Amino acid sequence: MLLTIMVGAAAMSLRQASLEHSVINAYLNQRVDFVAQVKTDPTKTSSGNYSFTARLLSFTADGKSYTVRTPIRVISKNQITALPGQKIAATATALKSKEARVAALVIVNGDITILTEPSAWASGLGAIREGLRNNSGDGDAGALIPGMVLGDTSKQSPEFKEAMKRSGLTHLVAVSGANFAIVSTFVLWCMQFLIRRKNYRVLATAVALVCFIALVRPSPSVLRAAAMAAVLLSAQLGKRASDSLPALGFAICAVVLGDPWQSRDAGFALSVLATAGLLLLAPKIEEKLPTHQKLAGALAPPIAAMVFCAPILVALSGYLSPMSVVANLFAAPAVAPITVLGFIAALISPVAPWITQLIIFCIRFPAGFITWVAHWVADFPVLTIHNGLIGFVLVAAILLVLILFKKHWKHSAAILLIIVISLGWLQRWPAGDWQVAQCDVDQGDSLVINLGNHRAVVIDTGPDSAAEDKCLKALGIKHIPLLILSHFHADHVGGLSGLLDGRSVQQVWITNNLEPKVESEMALKELRGAQVITVQRGLIAQIGEVNLKVVWPEATTRSFEELPGEGSQINNSSIAVIASTKDWSLFSAGDLEPPAQHELIDRVGPVDIYKVCHHGSKYQDDGLMQALSAQIALISVGAKNPYGHPAAEIVDSLTRLGTQVVRTDRDGAVAITASAHHLRVRKSKGRVRLFYWS
């Protein structure tokens, strides 16, 4: 272990130094013409771009040409269908990358030219992957099958990904040690009919696994999974439990020596801990559980894996899903049939697609069952704990106490369960009655006004459909009489599909500026079943007890002097609305910038709640903030966003006015309860809040 750490650290240091001193770093923020070899399949990102890694072979900048061999990350605005091994050429802008494994990030705005044809090997593997993807069908079940068999998640919607994550089933759609164990066991079983000697059968299985690695792509996570699977298989084949821990140690050393960056990867730690849990803790849990032997055998693995991985899971995501044990228990019987039959369907898809479709028809039923389990468990509350170092230390300390008092583990576990449930109930969000809520949708906006009886007025939907759906579920919203889209930037309308998931929208207010065209066309297409109204200053409406008054935009689009940054014309077309009841008042104005804000000073008065424009950017009108004189300022902003939102000077200005500033990057989702102008703020997270249910 010590030798591995020393050699791995030295190798990583040399590699890191090589990347940092690559000649391309001298041309950052400049345009370069480059030739590279594709290393990974291009995948579509949440922003609509295509991302892949490549080996940079040569580039030209400032009239000078260089020949290199260094890894880079390529982001393309246009779709590209190149396979690993093909050479490409393009003109791009080189930027500094935060990814440790690559020397630079190159952004390609134009077309990418494919210089070489794929090899027969790459074409064959690509045909197998594409065949399974094309024949797996629609819906979540159709998206699940390529993920479970080949780790291909390109067809999965953001809502389904969130459901899988929240239910603790994400590992099913990432090529893990379980995939390798299932495939190798199946191949080993088949080999007994062809090869008599056990050693030769094991050798043939190893060759099959190497081919499987090539099929699912030899990414770091796949190689890591292969190493962890080798541990479990060696323990199984050796039939000696004493072989398992040395094998695990060997696998750790081999992975770190082969790829030193794995030592800094949380996924590697999770793989190691999950494998250790299956080897060390699962047998003991199976012995202790007072249930039927088969049920205990099914419950023990997910419990053991969750216990060992809990500190890191909390440090990464900030929450644990106790119901994930139930989800894994229900899903377990369907995993092997889908993996084995899906693997066969993928292999024969290029030559016999009709047989593939027949097999897919059969496995869609268990796949549909797993998707149902994922959505069902995702609706249960999760135990959210402070993420980062605090969450890691807290959970690790709890597990340490349980280990130290293992003789009385039943009493300790019962006490811990009571404490967790009590804290979850006392600190749940939104915790009963509420009038106004600011959803935590990362770098975007989504405000919800409660109308009672599971109804609400929603202003904007944020950029992420999964985050929007999660927030509205927590608030219990099922019907939206009025949706206000302040303007059509993606961070205000991108989460629309999440809002529409299982909810009805009666009427929609939109601005008179339909730019950007792509976003507005997509949004209006999704809302074709609702009544869409283009609003302007002077419109007054009442929904339930909530009075609404539109104070911007005017009848025609106003042109102002351009401001720094993009989209000022669009931002200044945002809908500004005053909402009020007998107990509270609110002002929200999308991303309005100072010129338009200044026009509103004489049209507004003091309010209780101010949803700060443009995520608290430094471009604010002091006169408007003084005219509003709000008790509470809501700033919807993503943590560590690249725009510097919210600006420190704006937060200071609001504080000097006596306004309490609440921001989603630090406080999470916010719910406000109002009674006779007395406001109470309920945050979903914070420095002193360690537990809450969401």
pLDDT tens digit sequence for 312-350? 777 776 666 777 778 877 887 888 888 889 888 988 888
Tell me the CB-side half-sphere exposure of residue 199, using CA atoms within 13 A: 0
Contacts of 534 (CB under 8 A, 6+ apart): 509, 510, 511, 512
What count of residues does the chain have?
694
Both structure tokens of 68: 């290199």
The rounded distance, in Å, linking the Cα atoms of 424 and 684 is: 11
Contact 94, 70 (CB under 8 A): no
Contact 485, 510 (CB under 8 A): yes
- What are the φ/ψ torsions at residue 246 (nearest 5 degrees)? -60, -40
- Buried b / exposed e over 162-199, threshold 16 CB at 10 Å, is bbbbbbbbbbbbbbbbbbbbbbbebbbeebeeebeeee
Contact 498, 474 (CB under 8 A): no
Contacts of 41 (CB under 8 A, 6+ apart): 52, 83, 84, 129, 217
Helix, strand or coil, per DSSP, at residue 35: strand
- Output the pLDDT for position 693: 38
Closest by Cα among 280, 210, 207 to 242 = 280
How crowded is residue 320: how many other Cβ atoms within 10 Å of its Cβ? Answer: 20
Contact 576, 589 (CB under 8 A): yes
- Output the pLDDT for position 565: 43
Distances in Å between the Cα of 305 and the Cα atoms of 250, 275, 389, 401 are 20, 7, 21, 18
Burial of 543: CB neighbours in 10 Å, binned 0-12, 13-18, 19+: middle
Contact 436, 467 (CB under 8 A): no
The rounded distance, in Å, linking the Cα atoms of 595 and 607 is: 21
Report the amino acid identity of residue 667. Answer: D
Domain with CATH 2.40.50.140 in the chain: 2-118
- Output the pLDDT for position 96: 84
Residue-by-residue DSSP string for 202-246: HHHHHHHHHHHHHHH---HHHHHHHHHHHHHHHHHHHT-GGGHHH
DSSP class of residue 278?
I
- Output the pLDDT for position 630: 92
Report the amino acid identity of residue 235. Answer: A
Report the amino acid identity of residue 493. Answer: V
pLDDT in tens, 630-675: 999 999 998 877 778 899 999 999 999 989 999 998 888 999 988 7
Contacts of 629 (CB under 8 A, 6+ apart): 606, 607, 657, 658, 659
Domain with CATH 3.60.15.10 in the chain: 436-557+570-681
Closest by Cα among 629, 619, 565 to 597 = 619
The rounded distance, in Å, linking the Cα atoms of 659 and 506 is: 35
Below-50 pLDDT ranges, the chain: 242, 564-566, 687-694
Q: Which residue has the tokens 């149902």?
A: 372
β-bridge mates for residue 505, sequence order: 480
Both structure tokens of 79: 């779709």
How crowded is residue 271: how many other Cβ atoms within 10 Å of its Cβ? Answer: 26
Helix, strand or coil, per DSSP, at residue 108: strand
CA 67, chain centre distance (Å): 37
Contacts of 630 (CB under 8 A, 6+ apart): 587, 606, 607, 608, 609, 610, 654, 657, 659
Give the Cα-Cα-Cα angle 64, 68, 69 (nearest 5 degrees).
Answer: 160
- Output the pLDDT for position 656: 92
The rounded distance, in Å, linking the Cα atoms of 340 and 337 is: 5
The rounded distance, in Å, linking the Cα atoms of 205 and 193 is: 13
Contacts of 676 (CB under 8 A, 6+ apart): 583
Distances in Å between the Cα of 397 and the Cα atoms of 323, 391, 400, 683 are 22, 10, 5, 26
The rounded distance, in Å, linking the Cα atoms of 25 and 66 is: 12
**220-238 and 244-258 are packed helices; what angle lies between their axes, rounded to 10 degrees?**
160
The rounded distance, in Å, linking the Cα atoms of 615 and 638 is: 9
Compute the Cα dihedral for 591, 595, 597, 600 and give only its sign: negative
Which CATH code for domain 436-557+570-681? 3.60.15.10
Compute the Cα dihedral for 335, 336, 341, 346 and give only its sign: positive
Closest by Cα among 325, 279, 283, 285 to 306 = 325
Both structure tokens of 682: 């309920």
Closest by Cα among 272, 282, 283 to 248 = 272
Contact 79, 50 (CB under 8 A): yes
Both structure tokens of 500: 């529409």
2-118, superfamily in CATH?
Answer: Nucleic acid-binding proteins (2.40.50.140)
